[in-house]
């Protein structure tokens, strides 16, 4: 939201006042409280008929300072509130000092200094050791606005006719870029954008987002988390070109400035604040196959799909039943359609016993259609959200007469979890938690009378996914719970996995999806997936195959569509050639499964550090490289592999390699960065480069057991330009740490006693079949 018309004028209909000076500084138990009048106080009479803003600076943890700006402190601060420091808050001792530079609050490595000048407003944030200036709140950067502009001071005696906003602005340095803010499909660098943090079902080709996360990361070495689950509006260099403005409707706005010596440290501290990503089991990294959305399928269809995948040498680890496992007009009543699935428990058991899949996932959402069995129970017991007149909140969008589960009601949460238990009893192992964005914010009353309907709009996704995730944990174990969520907000990274929503079957939508995954990864989410082939439309074979290559390098990989199936033989008429969809899918599935020793070890580190596994933005690994902050068509898979999807039918692709030596995974050719490169690829490869000084542990080539096997047995340990100290962690299939393999001073590997079977070492990168090396790859000048 913009409050000004250019630099000099106020926006039409707005009355705006700014903090003009710091009149008084009071030291508090945790920091500083600043009294800031909205005009300069030159004489005593100026204190009359003058508004003030209170700015509280508090030391939170090492490297984190919170900032709260308040106009009228008597306003009720209704919930919900983000669940902060879920694992406990580390101790920090605030330090306050005063000198000619001003009054400084230090919280470990981060400090905020209030300028000492008389009739001045300026608060600078910097490294405590003086090594770096980060950002500042300069003149006229904190204020409040009233709309419509009151005709007199007395008019605001009745605030029901007015909207009150509070805003803060932080400065942007020359060349600074801004990233994150959830799963956003537009430009990777948010500079110049107006961003509204308000969950919406808008697809991937709009400025709306399913997962709005009130955290952004700056290329200058800090992050900002806005502590408000309601609608937050940002002007990222779009109202004042040199400032980021955040505003909310209300009387107070609180945010946290997070400093770290690199972006990874910033994300780690953010994970302390809002929660670390949960760990997920090894089977979840394998290939997921879906029925797709509105297709007509039954038990025979499911079996034929899985048998067809087996016949084409493509193991499926997870089979997913989308919406129509339930009867039309009954979603979500948790009951299999008896006509299509007369014996769901037996059917699922037979699929697993035959080795056609390891696990089963089903689709649900939090909207309860009135024609399903669950509606009457939920309505009678008060488990559904109500209108202000006492009616159950219903509408006919999506499902006829649907109500909305009230997850602020503990009894409703327990009932919903009990319904899930019935599915687990039938053999269901994972849950796709779809929707959760279309949450009403008007004419609605929650069970929790303190819940602000506007704040509940985004926060609903947290409560919904938390309920399902904890039900999975109770049934299967803490690190064995897997859901597949679409909606999210700050904190829902604790409940993995998420996917990118409704994309079209086009190369442009694939690029949109890459940007969405990169942005979400810089918002604290470790795992992310996408509908391979695109959700809307029917992909031509070339798009399907290019998307398969991209999708199998995401942390999680699922074939899913809307009105058409995504099994490969339906895409190209069952072309069984090497360039056909079936062989392409088989090759990329085999590659991902072979990477599992590396991926699963990297997954454990990503969860512990609050980092994205894949898609990981290149700037996380190479923050000192200015180009890395603009790369939105490529990504890291963990810390050692760089991948560049191909968006062109003919296979031409341009990509960037940061400084260092990089080895092509497919050919063994070494390239030196930094620099841009162009290649042309067939459907079996893409630019996939291994970083120098990498010890890459690969599973046995040719194995066809899926993603779950013994990651220490029969492995190939591939060394890429290693130096002393280069190492790789190894975990078993349950995520238990086995140890590290490390290069010693004599160049020999240490720690190999954790390896089993017929393992081998390849000293110049992995063994590449000379006949296959470079097949389908053309280097372009």
DSSP states of 275-335 as a string? -PPPP--GGGGSEEEE--SS----HHHHHHHHHHHHHTT---SEEEE-GGGS-TT--SS--
Q: Which of 239, 406, 502, 692 is catalytic?
A: 502
The neighbouring-strand residues paired with 165 are: 145, 249
DSSP states of 636-682 as a string? EETTTEEE----STT-EEEEEEEEEEEEETTT--EEEEEEEEEEEE-
Residue 619: name the closest of 598, 639, 605 by CA: 639
User: What DSSP state is assigned to residue 702?
Assistant: T
Residue 12: name the closest of 141, 162, 147, 150 by CA: 147
Residue 467 tokens, joined? 């309920």
User: Please, are residues 284 and 556 in contact by the beta-carbon 8 Å criterion?
Assistant: yes
Instruction: Give ∠ CA 492-208-292 in degrees, rounded to 5.
Output: 75
* DSSP percent split of the chain into helix, strand, coil, nearest 5: 25, 30, 45
User: Please, are residues 505 and 538 in contact by the beta-carbon 8 Å criterion?
Assistant: yes
Give the C-alpha distances (Å, rounded to integers) separating 479 from 45, 278, 287, 317, 734: 64, 7, 19, 17, 9
The two beta strands, 222-226 and 243-249, are: unpaired
Residue ranges in 366-478 assigned as alpha helix (H):
373-380, 410-425, 453-476
- Cβ partners under 8 Å of residue 389, min gap 6: none
Q: Which of 56, 62, 322, 434 is catalytic?
A: 434
The neighbouring-strand residues paired with 239 are: none
User: Please, are residues 477 and 105 in contact by the beta-carbon 8 Å criterion?
Assistant: no
434 is known as an active-site residue: yes
Cα 764 from Cα 720, distance rounded (Å): 6
The two beta strands, 359-364 and 318-321, are: parallel
437 is known as an active-site residue: yes
Helix (H) or strand (E) holding 519: helix 507-521
Cα 508 from Cα 186, distance rounded (Å): 11
- Quickly count: other Cβ atoms within 10 Å of residue 143's Cβ: 23
- Cβ partners under 8 Å of residue 649, min gap 6: 542, 543, 546
Give the C-alpha distances (Å, rounded to integers) separating 283 from 30, 157, 590, 704: 46, 61, 14, 14
Q: What are phi and psi of 669, to 5 degrees?
A: -70, 140
- Cβ partners under 8 Å of residue 676, min gap 6: 654, 655, 656
Residue 456: name the closest of 67, 81, 61, 36 by CA: 81
Residue 63: name the closest of 304, 203, 260 by CA: 260
- The torsion defined by the Cα of 526, 532, 534 and 536, in degrees rounded to 10, comes to -100
User: Please, are residues 640 and 690 in contact by the beta-carbon 8 Å criterion?
Assistant: yes
CA 765, distance to chain mean position in Å, is 32
- Quickly count: other Cβ atoms within 10 Å of residue 339's Cβ: 8
User: Please, are residues 458 and 490 in contact by the beta-carbon 8 Å criterion?
Assistant: no
Q: Which of 56, 58, 437, 454 is catalytic?
A: 437
CA 404, distance to chain mean position in Å, is 25
The residues carrying an active-site annotation are 434, 437, 502
């Amino acid at each position: 939201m913009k409050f000004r018309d250019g630099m000099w004028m106020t926006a039409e209909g707005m009355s705006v006042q700014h903090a003009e000076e710091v009149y008084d500084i009071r030291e508090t138990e945790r920091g500083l409280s600043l009294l800031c009048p909205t005009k300069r106080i030159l004489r005593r009479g100026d204190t009359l008929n003058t508004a003030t803003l209170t700015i509280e600076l508090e030391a939170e943890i090492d490297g984190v300072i919170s900032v709260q700006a308040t106009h009228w402190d008597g306003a009720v601060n209704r919930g919900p509130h983000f669940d902060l420091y879920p694992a406990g808050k580390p101790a920090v001792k605030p330090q306050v000092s005063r000198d000619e530079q001003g009054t400084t609050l230090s919280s470990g490595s981060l400090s905020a200094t209030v300028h000492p000048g008389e009739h001045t407003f300026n608060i600078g944030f910097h490294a405590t050791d003086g090594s770096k200036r980060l950002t500042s709140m300069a003149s006229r950067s904190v204020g409040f606005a009233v709309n419509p502009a009151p005709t007199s001071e007395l008019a605001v005696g009745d605030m029901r006719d007015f909207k009150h906003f509070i805003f803060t602005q932080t400065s942007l340095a020359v060349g600074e870029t801004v990233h994150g803010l959830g799963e956003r499909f537009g430009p990777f660098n948010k500079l110049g954008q107006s961003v509204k943090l308000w969950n919406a079902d808008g697809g991937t080709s709009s400025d709306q987002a399913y997962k709005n996360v009130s955290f952004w990361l700056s290329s200058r070495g800090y992050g900002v988390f806005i502590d408000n689950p309601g609608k937050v509006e940002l002007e990222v260099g779009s109202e004042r070109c040199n400032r980021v403005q955040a505003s909310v409707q209300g009387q107070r706005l609180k945010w946290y400035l997070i400093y770290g010596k690199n972006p990874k440290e910033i994300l780690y501290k953010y994970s302390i604040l809002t929660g670390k990503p949960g760990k997920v089991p090894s089977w979840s990294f394998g290939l997921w196959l879906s029925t797709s959305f509105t297709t007509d399928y039954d038990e025979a269809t499911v079996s034929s799909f899985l048998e067809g995948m087996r016949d084409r040498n493509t193991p499926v680890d997870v089979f997913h039943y989308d919406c129509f496992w339930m009867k039309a007009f009954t979603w979500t009543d948790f009951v299999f359609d008896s006509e299509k699935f007369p014996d769901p428990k037996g059917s699922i058991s037979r699929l697993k016993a035959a080795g056609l899949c390891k696990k089963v996932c089903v689709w649900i959402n939090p909207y309860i259609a009135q024609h399903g069995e669950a509606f009457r129970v939920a309505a009678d017991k008060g488990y559904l959200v109500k209108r202000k007149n006492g009616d159950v909140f219903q509408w006919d969008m999506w499902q006829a007469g649907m109500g909305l589960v009230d997850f602020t009601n503990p009894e409703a949460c327990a009932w919903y979890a009990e319904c899930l238990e019935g599915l687990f009893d039938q053999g269901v192992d994972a849950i796709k938690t779809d929707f959760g964005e279309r949450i009403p914010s008007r004419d609605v009353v929650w069970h929790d009378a303190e819940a602000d309907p506007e704040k509940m709009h985004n926060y609903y996704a947290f409560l919904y996914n938390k309920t399902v995730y904890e039900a999975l944990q109770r049934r299967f174990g803490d690190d064995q719970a897997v859901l597949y969520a679409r909606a999210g907000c700050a904190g829902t990274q604790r409940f993995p996995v998420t996917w990118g929503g409704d994309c079209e079957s086009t190369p442009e939508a694939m690029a949109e999806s890459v940007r969405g995954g990169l942005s979400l990864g810089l918002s604290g989410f470790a795992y992310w997936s996408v509908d391979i082939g695109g959700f809307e439309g029917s992909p031509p074979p070339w798009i399907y195959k290019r998307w398969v290559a991209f999708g199998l390098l995401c942390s999680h990989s699922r074939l899913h569509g809307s009105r058409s199936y995504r099994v490969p033989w339906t895409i190209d008429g069952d072309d069984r050639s090497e360039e056909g969809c079936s062989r392409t899918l088989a090759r990329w599935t085999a590659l991902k499964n072979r990477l599992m020793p590396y991926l699963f070890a990297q997954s454990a580190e990503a969860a512990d550090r609050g980092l994205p596994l894949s898609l990981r933005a290149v700037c996380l690994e190479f923050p000192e490289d200015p180009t890395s902050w603009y790369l939105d068509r490529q990504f890291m898979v963990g810390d050692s592999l760089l991948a560049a999807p191909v968006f062109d039918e003919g296979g031409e692709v341009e990509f960037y390699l940061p400084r260092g030596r990089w080895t092509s995974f497919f050919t063994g050719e070494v390239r030196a960065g930094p620099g841009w490169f162009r290649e042309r690829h067939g459907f079996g490869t893409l630019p996939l480069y291994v970083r120098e000084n990498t010890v890459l542990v690969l599973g046995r080539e040719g194995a066809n057991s899926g993603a779950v096997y013994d990651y220490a047995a029969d492995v190939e340990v591939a060394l890429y330009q290693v130096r002393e100290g280069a190492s790789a962690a190894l975990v078993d299939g349950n995520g238990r740490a086995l140890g590290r393999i490390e290069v010693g001073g004599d160049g020999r590997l240490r720690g190999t006693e954790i390896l089993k079977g017929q393992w081998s070492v390849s000293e110049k990168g992995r063994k590449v079949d000379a006949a296959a090396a470079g097949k389908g790859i053309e280097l372009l000048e």
